Amino acid sequence: MSKSDLVLYLSALNIGYKSQVFIVNNYNSISEFKSDIKKGVLDKTFLLKTLNKIKDNIDTLNLDTYKEKLLNNKSKYLTIYDSEFPYNLKNIQNPPLIIYYKGNLNKKFEYGISVVGARKCTNYGAWACEYIASELSRLKIPTISGLALGIDSIVHKTCLRGDSLTMGVLGNGIDVVYPKSNYSLYEEMIISEKGCIITEYPLGTKPIGYNFPRRNRLISGFGLGTIVVEAKEKSGTLITANYAGEQGKEIFAIPGNINSLYSKGTNSLIKDGAKIVNSIYDILEELPQLKDLIDYKNDDEQKEILENLTEEEYRVYKLIHRTPLSLDEIYRKLDLNINEVSVIITTLELKGYISELQGGIYSVI
Q: What is the mean pLDDT of the chain?
A: 90
Query: Could you give the maximum distance between any two Cα atoms of the chain, in Å?
Result: 88
Sign of the Cα torsion 259, 262, 265, 271 reads: negative
- Confidence at 198, pLDDT banded by 50, 70, 90: very high
The pLDDT assigned to 315 comes to 81
The pLDDT assigned to 233 comes to 85
In angstroms, the first-to-last Cα distance of the chain is: 64
- The neighbour count for residue 152, using CB atoms within 10 Å, is 28
- The neighbour count for residue 360, using CB atoms within 10 Å, is 11
> ∠14-174-146 over CA atoms, to 5°?
110
- Contact in structure between 363 and 350 (CB atoms under 8 Å): no
What is the average pLDDT across 342-351? Answer: 89
The pLDDT assigned to 138 comes to 83
What are the residue ranges of helices labelled H in the chain?
3-13, 17-26, 30-39, 48-57, 63-72, 87-90, 123-138, 151-161, 183-191, 211-222, 236-246, 261-271, 280-286, 300-308, 311-322, 327-334, 338-350
SS3 31: helix
Q: CA 68 to CA 61: how far, in whole Å?
A: 13
SS3 275: strand
The pLDDT assigned to 268 comes to 92
Position 1 pLDDT exceeds 70: no
Position 229 pLDDT exceeds 90: yes
Position 299 pLDDT exceeds 70: no
- Between 302 and 358, the more confident residue is 358
- Confidence at 280, pLDDT banded by 50, 70, 90: confident
Beta partners for 101?
A: 76, 198
The pLDDT assigned to 48 comes to 93
The two beta strands, 76-79 and 98-103, are antiparallel
Is it true that the peptide bond before 255 is cis, omega within 30 degrees of 0?
Answer: no
What domains, with CATH codes, occur in the chain? 3-72 (no CATH), 107-290 (3.40.50.450), 309-364 (1.10.10.10)
Question: What contacts 231, CB < 8 A, 6 or more positions away?
Answer: 116, 117, 118, 237, 238, 241, 262, 264, 265, 266, 269
- DSSP assignment of 225-252 equals EEEE----SSSHHHHHHHHHHHTT-EEE
- Confidence at 296, pLDDT banded by 50, 70, 90: very low
- Contact in structure between 204 and 181 (CB atoms under 8 Å): no
Beta partners for 144?
A: 114, 167
- Confidence at 303, pLDDT banded by 50, 70, 90: low
Position 190 pLDDT exceeds 50: yes
What is the average pLDDT across 142-164? Answer: 95
Of 49-63, 201-215, 289-303, 322-336, the range with the lowest mean pLDDT is: 289-303
What CA–CA distances, in Å, run from 88 to 219, 224, 249, 330?
Answer: 11, 9, 11, 39
Position 295 pLDDT exceeds 80: no
What's the pLDDT tens digit per position in 70-120?
999 999 999 999 999 999 999 999 999 999 999 999 999 999 999 999 999
The pLDDT assigned to 292 comes to 59
Conformation bin of residue 257: beta by default, left when phi > 0, alpha when psi is -120 to 50: beta
Beta partners for 97?
A: none
- Between 319 and 158, the more confident residue is 158
What's the pLDDT tens digit per position in 16-70?
999 999 999 999 999 999 999 999 999 999 999 999 999 999 989 999 999 999 9
Question: What contacts 357, CB < 8 A, 6 or more positions away?
Answer: 324, 363
- The neighbour count for residue 72, using CB atoms within 10 Å, is 10
